[in-house]
Chains A and B, each alone.
Chain A
Amino acid sequence: QKEVEQNSGPLSVPEGAIASLNCTYSDRGSQSFFWYRQYSGKSPELIMSIYSNGDKEDGRFTAQLNKASQYVSLLIRDSQPSDSATYLCAVNGGMFGNQFYFGTGTSLTVIP
């Protein structure tokens, strides 16, 4: 069964805090993992991609992948009000094949 699961939230953090977003997936053979940000009424835009176990950092964003636990996370440091959006986890490869399967998204609000 193909599943990508996220906590729907909403998640609220104060400005300057660390926001932690989590995602689990069903297929151990999955190969590619993505975090997309989606503002209300807009299309998803890529924040991070990760393909190997461990951490990947890009500015204030860090993606963490643990294939043994089938778990991927996104940390947002020094959260800003402009980070308020829905964050979508996507998985590709393995039984997901060439398709991108998305979780239902986590709504994040950063409180000034």
Chain B
Amino acid sequence: NAGVTQTPKFRILKIGQSMTLQCAQDMNHNYMYWYRQDPGMGLKLIYYSVGAGITDKGEVPNGYNVSRSTTEDFPLRLELAAPSQTSVYFCASSYSTPMNTEAFFGQGTRLTVV
């Protein structure tokens, strides 16, 4: 049971570099989400998607981009990495009707920007 799979688990970036965090789910969920979690804090929504081809901004979208070309995949792109983007990133997915459901999380990507 793969569920939500994120790669990589750890990454160190230099300021100004770019990278893509990968997220894939095999539960046929329509909704997918990207969160970041800073130390001692809750989860902040970066972007979300309600289906292939549809994405929208969350609370903290600046500095990030997403795409959703398939139901399964929802990559998060950092174009010009900044130290403020040092965080743990979680991808999650859920069924299309939020009622009577839950968000399933990947294992997270720990990103450090130096």
Inter-subunit contact A105/B42 (CB<8 Å):
yes
**B74 at the A/B interface (Cβ < 8 Å)?**
no
* Residue in contact with A88 in the complex, picked from B42, B92, B107, B108, CB distance below 8 Å: B42
Inter-subunit contact B99/A51 (CB<8 Å):
yes
Interface 1/0s, chain B 79-114, versus A by CB < 8 A?
A: 000000000001010100011111101111000000
Tell me the minimal C-beta distance from A8 to chain B in angstroms: 8
Q: Known: A32-B98, A92-B98, A98-B98. Is A43-B48 also a contact (CB below 8 A)?
A: no
**B12 at the A/B interface (Cβ < 8 Å)?**
no
Interface 1/0s, chain B 43-66, versus A by CB < 8 A?
A: 111001010000000100000000
* Residue in contact with A43 in the complex, picked from B33, B40, B41, B108, CB distance below 8 Å: B108
Inter-subunit contact B105/A90 (CB<8 Å):
no
Q: Known: A32-B98, A51-B100, A92-B98. Is A100-B42 also a contact (CB below 8 A)?
A: no
In the bound complex, how far is the Cα of B103 from the Cα of A105, in angstroms?
A: 16
Tell me the minimal C-beta distance from A2 to chain B in angstroms: 8
Inter-subunit contact A99/B42 (CB<8 Å):
no
The 12 listed contacts between A and B (C-beta, < 8 Å) are A8-B40, A32-B100, A34-B102, A45-B105, A46-B102, A98-B98, A99-B45, A99-B58, A100-B103, A102-B35, A104-B41, A104-B42
Inter-subunit contact B100/A102 (CB<8 Å):
no
* Residue in contact with A44 in the complex, picked from B44, B50, B90, B98, CB distance below 8 Å: B90
In the bound complex, how far is the Cα of B101 from the Cα of A107, in angstroms?
A: 25
* Residue in contact with B43 in the complex, picked from A8, A51, A102, CB distance below 8 Å: A102
What A residues does B40 contact at CB under 8 A?
8, 104
What A residues does B103 contact at CB under 8 A?
34, 46, 90, 100
**A49 at the A/B interface (Cβ < 8 Å)?**
yes
Q: Known: A43-B106, A90-B103. Is A103-B98 also a contact (CB below 8 A)?
A: no
In the bound complex, how far is the Cα of B92 from the Cα of A16, in angstroms?
A: 33
